[in-house]
Amino acid sequence: MVHNFLTKLVQNILTLSLYEKLEDYLSKRTLIAILANWAFMDTKYLRIVKSIFRDYWEPDLFPNNKDDVLVDVGAYVGDSILSYVSMYGTDYKKIYAYEITPDSCFQLKNNVNKYSLHDVIIRQKGAGSKNSKMFLSGNSIDTSANRINKFGGQEVEIVRLDDDLDDIPTFIKMDIEGAEKDALLGLEGIIKEYAPKLAICTYHGYDDIWMIPKMIYEMNSNYKFYMRHNGGDLIPTEFVLLCKPIK
């Protein structure tokens, strides 16, 4: 009982801290809508706050991609890259696409070629806090939900993005099925020194919604924080933390 009380107390403190850090009214309402769903199975507020924009790209916060070096961690078959280009055009400088599933990498390459996208570097690797080897854990329903684990399956190279990128990123999107916190630890140097724009999914674990912004703020407090929701209203998924550098 004491443990449950302390856990809830910590969560309440973290929720308040996140609420106070969120920059706009829509972000605050999005957080409340998610919590209302978790607590009461409410769906009404999730419908109200759903973003009018697709996926991770919010042109009111990030108005253009002029000379962007985009790092798409969890690129899948290139759907997020295609929506990025559809939203912003092709004025980016370079795109790094990280994806752990071989078949998805193959489709990703075909999509890049089909739409004649320039300077897209595909890396069949995962992102983590240290350079290592892990194994692919396939999802039988949806390969976009494939994960990595320590045992069995096909071997996957895991890299620290601080070490693996050849360019200084200006925008990092991350949607990697619960491995976001570990991947951010391998990106700490870049976040501290360069403060790139960030779009980080926070819906894969219940504590991600609090812990990921806390991690980023401790790495670099020179950000404004926003939340957007793009998923369904029965169970809140596809909500994302958007971090805009303070200039």
pLDDT given at position 7: 55
pLDDT given at position 68: 97
CA 227 to chain centre: 11
pLDDT bracket for residue 11 (50, 70, 90): low
Mean per-residue pLDDT for 173-177? 94
Percent of the chain topping pLDDT 70: 89
Could you tell me if residue 142 is inside a domain? Answer: no
Given a cut of 60, whether residue 177 has pLDDT beyond it is yes
Decide: residue 161, CB within 10 A, 0-12 exposed, 13-18 middle, 19+ buried: buried
Full domain range(s) for residue 86: 2-122+164-245
pLDDT given at position 75: 97
pLDDT bracket for residue 14 (50, 70, 90): low
pLDDT bracket for residue 1 (50, 70, 90): very low
Given a cut of 90, whether residue 199 has pLDDT beyond it is yes
Mean per-residue pLDDT for 10-25? 81
The domain tally of the chain equals 1
Q: Which whole-number Å values give the CA distances from 182 to 149, 161, 197, in the listed order?
A: 13, 11, 18
Q: Which residue has the tokens 């798409």?
A: 72
Q: Read off the pLDDT of residues 128-167 as tens digits, 9 standing for 90 and up.
A: 999 999 888 766 555 555 667 766 678 899 999 999 999 9
Could you tell me if residue 127 is inside a domain? Answer: no
pLDDT given at position 13: 62
Could you tell me if residue 216 is inside a domain? Answer: yes
Could you tell me if residue 156 is inside a domain? Answer: no
Q: Read off the pLDDT of residues 43-63 as tens digits, 9 standing for 90 and up.
A: 999 999 999 987 899 999 999
Q: What is the CATH number of the domain that holds 204?
A: 3.40.50.150
Could you tell me if residue 9 is inside a domain? Answer: yes
pLDDT given at position 237: 83
Residue 167 tokens read as 């360019």
pLDDT given at position 5: 44
Q: Name the average pLDDT for the chain.
A: 89
pLDDT bracket for residue 215 (50, 70, 90): very high
Could you tell me if residue 131 is inside a domain? Answer: no
Q: Measure the CA–CA gap between 24 and 26, rounded to whole angstroms.
A: 6
Mean per-residue pLDDT for 96-122? 96
